[in-house]
Amino acid sequence: MIQEFFQFISTRPALSYARKRGYLFEAIAMDARHKRCFTQWQTHYLKCQQAILKAVDACLQKNTIVIMGAGSLNDIPLDSLSRQFQKVVLVDLVFLKQARKKAADYTNVFLEEADVSNRLSNLFEGTLAFKADASWSLPQETDCLVSLNLVTQLPLIPVRWLMQHHGLNESEAGKLGKEMVKSHLNLMESFQGVRCLIADRQIFEYDATGELIDQFDPAWDVLLPDVIDSWQWQVIPPGESKQKTVQINQVGVSIW
């Protein structure tokens, strides 16, 4: 707890809302949960790394790879990417000290703190109508674009904040969630190189007796591209939650 507090006060993300609106808090909580649930999370991270390498194998040129939602970098095969590409660009709203240290071991790995939805600064001002701030764009000569455990997360914090502070109702929340997922997919579709989408496809929640109590599509019912590989990630293993529930995410990979 103390370590997490120090992590919070000593990390200064470039985008002020990353701290104010809870992205930094979430990054620290994820880091702590990874430590507590190392075995279950590491299996998932290794599978993500393998999926990224599979996408890389399909690249005809290897100038630049861009990974959106890089976060902890734990699910990224950095050594191999750094060797194969001239430039590795890792994008997220927040990078903790540990991720910065890892990236600093490579001269061709660059961390970019940016909002890949290009909408957050407007949304956090309460502007709901689609108005892109377009501050982030793909680097030139990108050959491979990866969306890493990100697409289903994109709407979560802004939607929750708008519901709490701007009276967004459920139907408006659903509309905004879908819009954000779709526009991320459009970004990937409009890219000409190799695209790799790693994302939760279904979420299952079980009670202490092992009975399924909830199941839902985390992509806000937006159809994602076909899956070529899939696995179960025990995000909340037994013993982790105070309510004694267990959460398993079905993760899927699309490469096209």
Ligand X SMILES: C[S@@+](CC[C@H](N)C(=O)[O-])C[C@H]1O[C@@H](n2cnc3c(N)ncnc32)[C@H](O)[C@@H]1O
- Residue 75 is a binding residue for ligand X (CB under 6 A): yes
Q: Write the binding mask 198 to 227 for ligand X: x where contact by CB under 6 A, - elsewhere.
A: ------------------------------
Stretch near ligand X under the rule CB under 6 A, chosen from 64-72, 81-89, 159-167, 206-214: 64-72
- Residue 93 is a binding residue for ligand X (CB under 6 A): yes
Nearest CB to ligand X, comparing residues 70 and 168: 70
165 vs 152: CA distance, rounded Å: 22
78 vs 74: CA distance, rounded Å: 9
N-terminal to C-terminal alpha carbon distance within the chain: 42
- Residue 23 is a binding residue for ligand X (CB under 6 A): yes
Q: Write the binding mask 107 to 126 for ligand X: x where contact by CB under 6 A, - elsewhere.
A: --------xxx--x------
Q: Write the binding mask 126 to 155 for ligand X: x where contact by CB under 6 A, - elsewhere.
A: ----------------------xxx--xx-
Q: Are strands 229-236 and 246-255 parallel, antiparallel or unpaired?
A: antiparallel
Nearest CB to ligand X, comparing residues 64 and 149: 149
Find where tokens 């105070």 sit: 242
Structure-token pair, residue 238: 């037994």
121 vs 132: CA distance, rounded Å: 9
Query: Shortest approach of ligand X to residue 92 CB, angstroms?
Result: 5
**CB–CB of 90/104 below 8 Å?**
no
57 vs 172: CA distance, rounded Å: 41
Tell me which residues touch ligand X (CB under 6 A): 23, 27, 30, 69-72, 74-75, 91-94, 115-117, 120, 148-150, 153-154
